[in-house]
Every structure is written in C-alpha cells, then in structure tokens.
Amino acid sequence: MSGRNRGPPLPMKGVPLGGLPPIHEPHFGRGLGPMPHPALLEEMRETQFGMGPRELPPHPAIIEEQLAAQHQEIQGLLGDNQRLAATHVALKQELEAAQHELRQTAHYAGLLHAEKDMQMRELYEKAVKMEMDLGGAKAMRDELQQVHADIKELTATKQEGTGQVQAMTQDLARITADLQQAPALKAEIDTLKQELQRARAAIEYEKKGYAENYEHGQVLENKLVSMARELEKLRAEMANAEKRARAAAAVGNQGYSGNYPEAGYAGNHYPANYGMNPMNPVQAGAENYSQYGPGPGSWGAYDMQRVQGPR
C-alpha cells in the first residue's frame, strides 16, 4: 500500500525538470502507473487550470498517511462486517432454535388443552347429572314453598276483603244518613243563594252610590276652590280700598291739628294667610275670612247631607 500511486513528483511552478518545459499531462496518461485517487485528480486539475497562482501539491508522505488511515478504516469496517455476519448467523440459529421450541411448546399446549377439554367435558357431564338429580328435589321444595305462599296470599286476601266489606258497610250507613239530610241541605243552599244575590245587589247599589257621591264631591270641591279664589280677590280689593281711604284721609287732614284720636278699624290683627294649611288650600281659603267683616258663617251652614249624597 505504501508504494501505490508512487511516481515521479509533479513539476514545481516555474521550475523546469531536466531543462524541459513543464508537462501538464498526468503521469497515468503515459502508462507510468495506475490511476490516482479522484481527490488527487481534482487537486491536480485545480492547480493546472486555476486562474490564480498554482499551489504546491501535497507531499507523498501525507498522501501515504491518508491512504494508510483509509486502509485501516477499511480493515476495521471489514472486521465489523465479519463480526456482524457472525452475529447474524448466531442470531439466525438462535431464532431457528426458538421457533423449534415454540412449535414444540404449541404442540404440548394443544395436547394439554385437549386433555383439559376432555376433563372439563367429563366434569360438566357429572355436574349435569347431579343437577338433574337435584332438580327433582328442588322442584318439590319450590312447589311446597309456592303452596305455602299461596296459602298466605289467600289468607291476606280474605282479611283484606273482610276489611273492605266492613268499610263499605260503614260508607253505606253514612251515605244513607246523608241522603236523609239532603232536603235540609238543599233548603240551606237555596237560602244561601238568595242571601248571596241580595248581597250582590247591595254591593252594586253601594258602588253606584259611591260613584255618584264621588262625582258630587268633586263638583263641590271645584265650587269651593272658585269661591276661595273670589274671596281672595275681595280681600285684595278691600285692602286696596283701605289704603286709598287712608291716603285720602292723610291728605285731607294735613292742616288740621286736632287732638281727636284716629279712628281704627275693627279687624283681624293676624296676616291673611295665618293658620293656612298648605296641603289643603281650599280649607285654608274657606277658614281665613276677611279682616273687615264676619267669617264665613253666612254660607258655612251648608247642608252636609247634600254633600254626602243619597245613600
């Protein structure tokens, strides 16, 4: 391996070999040895046809070291391949042995399963026979239990029927007594119906009377409001007349220095709206009578029965 691809060195850049011009043709083209590695061909092609300055080719020792490393790697791969092949053969043999054992196990399992099925079939036949033997006794026991249950049910039904007959007898007696009281109840119901009709008529009459009284009260309230407004107007007019009279008296008595006291008016010393209820202006207007005359006694004695209306 160390002598593979060994030949004369490649010419250096710009230095002729033996006085001859540099030859760019590779040596393997002239039959001076086998074809070198493709990587070496690529490097030679780059150095000869590159545009820049050509680099020096690698030293043959480096190439030999690389080839030796590749050879060792190939030898290692070959050894691994051989080991894998041996392992594959061993695994194949183990697989065949395991398959053989599996087939034997399946055969034994089939035999055991068949034997177990036979045993189970025998046990099942024995169980069926025993069940058939016990079926007769169980049927007799069940029949006896059914007879006892029927007797209990008939006894309970008899007691229930006796209770129902007694209850029906009591209901019949009560219904007979109710039928005897039916005429009195019917008369009482008729009386209650008549009273109900009278009560309805009275309620309707009261509703009509209340509506009429309400309308009459609204009319009276409107009248009282208008009267209160007229009374306020009269008060204002009387106050203006009093002011004008005082002014005229003051102008007429400017040159008179008599010692007679000034005549006063008998009136109310409280203001006009004193004691007025702000929530009921009608009542306030009716109660606050004038300061210069009597109260509303002339029209206060109104017939209140007319306000209430017909009952």
Render pLDDT for 188-206 as a digit per residue (tens, 0 to 9): 888 888 999 999 888 988 8
Instruction: Evaluate whether residue 197 is within a structural domain.
Output: yes
What's the pLDDT at 40? 59
Instruction: Evaluate whether residue 209 is within a structural domain.
Output: yes
Contact assessment for residue 70 and residue 64, using Cβ atoms and an 8 Å cutoff = no
Residue ranges of the chain whose pLDDT lies below 50? 1-33, 51-52, 255-311
Instruction: Evaluate whether residue 235 is within a structural domain.
Output: yes
What's the pLDDT at 27? 47
Total structural domains in the chain?
Answer: 1
What's the pLDDT at 87? 94
Instruction: Evaluate whether residue 224 is within a structural domain.
Output: yes
Q: Which domain holds residue 231?
A: 191-247
Instruction: Evaluate whether residue 49 is within a structural domain.
Output: no
What's the pLDDT at 225? 92
Instruction: Evaluate whether residue 63 is within a structural domain.
Output: no
Contact assessment for residue 204 and residue 297, using Cβ atoms and an 8 Å cutoff = no
Q: Which of 30, 27, 31, 24 is nearest to 7 (CA)?
A: 27
Tokens of 14: 């710009």
What's the pLDDT at 183? 83
What's the pLDDT at 248? 85
What's the pLDDT at 3? 45
